[in-house]
Chains A and B, each alone.
Chain A
Amino acid sequence: MKVKVKFFAILRERAGAAEVLKEISDGCTIGDLWRQLQKDYPKLDVPGIRLLYAVNQNYVGPDYVLREQDEVVFIPPVSGG
């Protein structure tokens, strides 16, 4: 099955892409997906960065099990205001 991954800010620059479709296997957690993406895009491995995870515009934990067509975003430290 496929999920849509969107990259923002420093991760968008490091991936060189704003959005990718990624094929994943059943039972894949968002934490697993992050580890796979770091292999596809080695520059995503930003030393010391603390990420939050979001699926379909809601924060989730690293053990969230992905479903077909989920919209996945890895959230670098926010700095609005």
Chain B
Amino acid sequence: MFRVTNQPIDLNELVQYVTDPEAGAIVPFIGTTRNNNEGRKVIALDYEAYPEMAEKELVRIGDDAQKKWPICKIAIVHRLGPVQIGEASVIIVVSAAHRDAAFAASRFAIEEIKKTVPIWKKEVFEGGEVWIGTQTGQPLSALK
């Protein structure tokens, strides 16, 4: 299961999807939105994607994880649009016969998401907003 969605992500749905009689471990990873970043007080985050390509890249990450480790199933869902502080922006759930493979595949998936999946995060903080990674944020005061 690989998708991007404007709806809150349902962890239980992903856990059910990866549940497998051959699995001895299920590892969930939940990325959540933090109220601070580099000294800024963050008010909200807004995610945008190139959705068709983002889902293709998530499938590719799942395929690579399956090749690298003996896992049973993997599910990755990334949230889009405004996400309130403390909510899940991404959830990865991996099942495997043994925990080492599940932990490794989960770690691999989140690191790959941050490198290759066309999803962008705009941080709205006290006094401005910035597209993370581009370092071209303007304080709101500079735009007036």
- Interface residues on chain B, size class: 20 to 34
Task: Please pick, from B56, B120, B131, the residue contacting A80 in the complex, using a CB distance under 8 A.
Answer: B120
Interface residues of A in 38-67 (CB under 8 A from B): 46-49, 54, 57-59
Q: How far is the CA of A77 from the CA of B136 in the complex (A)?
A: 12
Interface of A is mostly: loop
B135 lies within 8 A of A76 (CB): no
Q: A57-B56, A73-B53 are in contact. Are A79 and B133 (CB under 8 A)?
A: yes
Residues B118 and A75 in contact, CB atoms below 8 Å apart: yes
Quick check: B117 and A78 within 8 Å, CB to CB?
Answer: yes
Expressed in whole angstroms, the minimum distance between the Cβ of A55 and any Cβ of chain B is: 10
Complex contact B131–A81 (CB within 8 A): no
B134–A76 CB distance below 8 A? yes
Main secondary structure of the interface of B (DSSP, over half): mixed
Contact B115 A9 (CB under 8 A): no
CB distance from B54 to the nearest CB of A (A): 8
Are A80 and B114 in contact, CB atoms less than 8 angstroms apart?
A: yes
Instruction: Specify which chain B residues have a CB less than 8 angstroms from the CB of A77 in the assembled complex.
Output: 133-134
Question: B119 an interface residue at 8 Å Cβ cutoff?
Answer: yes
Known: A75-B50, A81-B114. A49 touches B136 (CB 8 A): yes
Which of B54, B115, B120 is packed against the most chain A CB atoms within 10 Å?
B120
User: In the complex, A78 Cα to B119 Cα: how many Å?
Assistant: 6
CA A59 to CA B54, docked complex, whole Å: 11
Chain B residues with Cβ under 8 A from A47's Cβ? 136
Q: In the bound complex, how far is the Cα of B114 from the Cα of A10, in angstroms?
A: 17
Question: A34 interface residue, CB < 8 Å from B?
Answer: no
Minimum CB–CB distance for A22 against chain B, Å = 17
Query: Which chain B residue lies CB-closest to A77?
Result: B133
Chain B, Cβ-Cβ closest to A71: B52
Q: Contact between A10 and B136 (Cβ–Cβ < 8 Å)?
A: yes
